[in-house]
Chains A and B, each alone.
Chain A
Amino acid sequence: MKSAGGEPSAAFPELALQIGLTLNRLRAAAAVEVGCSRKEPVWSCGKTILYRYAPLSAARRSAPLLICFALVNRPYVLDLQPDRSLVRRLLEAGLDVYLIDWGNPEDADRHTDLPQYIEQHLAGSVAHIRGGHGGAPLNLLGVCQGGVLSLCYAARHPQAVANLITLTTPIDFHTPDNLLSKWVRQVDTALLERCGNVPGELLNSLFLALMPLRLAQQKYVRLLTSQPDQRTIEDFVRMEKWIFDSPPQNAAALAQFVRWFYQENRLVRDTLSIEGARVSLRDIRQPLLNLYAREDHIVPPSASRALGDHIGSADYTGREVATGHIGMYVSRAAGAEVPSRIISWLSERS
């Protein structure tokens, strides 16, 4: 452990004391648990597991809701702890919630590509859920990159999806404020794919490099003067745990995602095809709720906002939430706004 002392710490003795206290609390919180709602695996395909959450209240008469999370992070951020859980709010509203966990790809999975994820893993999950609900279409909630996969699926299988919700989902990858896109625009994806799976830590450092001082230092410095209690520290550590818990990325799927979307912007240019079949956002005719974050540094709001201009649905609702990318799932403000918007929007359409 490095010393946090020095002359200025002597000038602010209360700060030096506070550092010692916070370090002890951080140590005590190291084993904090993440994920809080009870769920059961109900179907699987490769490393992908479909979970069904145990109900928390009387079921509503509405279609089941399937959450399709991103491949680049773990989905438990949607159910981090009881007072910061989108899943829990949806369950309390009586929704029947399912979640896709893409798992932890190994080197042998490096050839698993986007068409397989969409047409086998996601489609298989949908088929399983519909099979248990008399074949009726379900409601699909796509989060971030999972939103892109959900849009592709819904465009190809409109009969399977009753209502579609996208959360912090990029559509137009070439807006001028998309830093990630600028950095990967000229990456050789064929070479990247040849090198095998990409470690999660690499993606993490890429995300941190978008705003390095804010994301790698400022949040810790703020702990210096805020005098956090043990509970606040545990909340903080849960988030840290999630941020640094990134699965490796399958080489084939990642290379395709970068090429198709970040480099060629195929969704907006209407040039995407999967397994030889065209995928057009114009074919999305079901009601769509699109929620995006105002201060999102990973998916700028301009990248999400574009969705309304490209889908075929006449029932489109786009809403900006005053938070950041991760704040959309865990911040106190978004924790109240996001679930209530989803629940009321769905109830108006069921």
Chain B
Amino acid sequence: MQSSGSSPFFKPEEAYATAAEGFFELMKSFGMSAGKATDWTSLAAPLASQFERWLQMSQAAAPWFPARGATPFAFGAAPAGFGSLPMGPAVAQGGQLPRSFELLGRLAHLQGELARHWSEIATTAAQRFIARLGNMPSAPATPQEALKLYELWVNCAEEAYGATVHKEEFGRLQAELTNTFTGLVAEQRQQAETLVRGFGLPTRNEVDALHAQLKELREQVIQLSRTPRGSPVQEPLSRPAAPERATNPPTGKKPPAAPARPGKRRPPTARAKASTRAKAPRRPRR
């Protein structure tokens, strides 16, 4: 058997109970309208408001920001490392606070934009639903009829949602929300780094710089092992020049040495001669 991670968001009972509650709330709205001589148009406003509230809650309940704080992140969620932002004066240093406030202001503005979209989606969804209900005579009488009505509502709501969230404008807003929020997280980190540096402890930036150095070295090693040894770029400066005819395979392995033929020696090339000269022992100075 597989051991699965225990996500704090795996709560099927709670999700089921919440969904049931939402379903009954919806049925209640249907019932109320049916009582008014099946005037379905009066259902539009409460339905839109219910859906808008749900959209806002489903975003705000997400763990990107732990508490309500009116800061629902666009995509929803993230705990721990992406948690609350310690913005107090004990944490902020130097000129970092104004930047954080600027980003928080930007975030609030973008959330306002997002709320405008939720409102538009909810209104469109309700209108679509009412239009499709048409001449339905009364509220659902059986659970099956109720579910059928619910399915119609879901279709209308998803269509309205899809029509908005596919727009370029919405995509840009999502990206801006993400960038502003990650900017805030980066600010948070920077503030923490300032504190850590004050205690003479290694910072994450320093660890990252070390890692970048290691990575660069690793890439150089890979490149060296791939490139023919004759390549002047790859040769260490202190080593003598390689023979011109070097044809090492990309693996970096040396080609097998040509068998020496007795009585027939190849004349050395110009570079090889130079190399020989360079290797000649120096005469001691007098």
Binding site for B on A (CB under 8 A): 1-9, 11-12, 14-15, 19, 22-23, 26-27, 29-30, 33-36, 74, 76, 79, 104, 107, 111, 179, 182-188, 191-192, 194-202, 204-206, 208-209, 211-214, 216-218, 220-225, 236-237, 240-242, 244-247, 275-276
Contact = CB atoms under 8 A, between A and B. Distances in A.
Contact of A26 (B13, B18, B143, B186): B13
B107 interface: no
B62 interface: yes
Contacts of B178: 184, 187-188, 192
A158 to B, nearest CB: 16
B49 interface: no
A107 B14 CA distance: 30
17 contacts: A6-B21, A7-B28, A79-B2, A111-B215, A184-B174, A186-B176, A197-B81, A199-B77, A199-B78, A199-B82, A201-B63, A201-B76, A204-B9, A213-B157, A213-B158, A217-B19, A220-B20
Nearest to B205: A194
B12 interface: yes
Contacts of B2: 33-35, 74, 76, 79
Contacts of A242: 4
Contacts of B162: 179, 211
B8 to A, nearest CB: 8
Most chain-B CB neighbours within 10 Å: which of A183, A214, A222? A183
Nearest to A220: B19
A245 B19 contact: no
B124 to A, nearest CB: 14
Interface string B177-190: 01100110110010
Interface string B117-159: 0000000000000000000000000111011001100100110
A8 B150 CA distance: 13
Interface stretch (B92-100, B163-171, B264-272, B273-281): B163-171
Contact of A191 (B27, B58, B179, B219): B179
Nearest to B184: A195
B222 A212 contact: no
Given A19-B20, A202-B77, A246 B12 contact: no
Contact of A74 (B5, B6, B142, B215): B5
Contacts of B80: 199
- Which secondary structure dominates where chain A touches chain B? helix
A224 B171 CA distance: 35
Contacts of B4: 34-35, 74, 76, 241-242, 245
Nearest to A186: B175
Contacts of B144: 225
Contacts of A27: 13
B191 to A, nearest CB: 14
What bracket does the count of chain B residues touching chain A fall in? 35 or more
Given A22-B16, A199-B79, A6 B28 contact: yes
A201 B12 contact: no
A216 B64 CA distance: 17
B101 interface: no
A157 to B, nearest CB: 14
B23 to A, nearest CB: 5
A275 B144 CA distance: 59
A295 B7 CA distance: 27
B116 interface: no
B86 interface: no
B161 A195 contact: no
Contact of B186 (A29, A195, A247): A195
A218 B18 CA distance: 11
A221 B147 contact: yes
Contact of A187 (B20, B59, B179, B185): B179
Given A209-B75, A224-B143, A8 B14 contact: no
A8 B77 contact: no
B13 A212 contact: no
B223 interface: yes
B223 A276 contact: yes
B64 A185 contact: no
Contacts of B81: 107, 195-197, 199
Interface in B224-238: none
Given A1-B17, A8-B28, A195-B186, A186 B171 contact: yes
Contacts of B174: 183-184
B201 interface: no
A214 B1 contact: no
Given A199-B82, A221-B150, A213 B161 contact: yes
B261 interface: no
Most chain-B CB neighbours within 10 Å: which of A33, A213, A240? A213
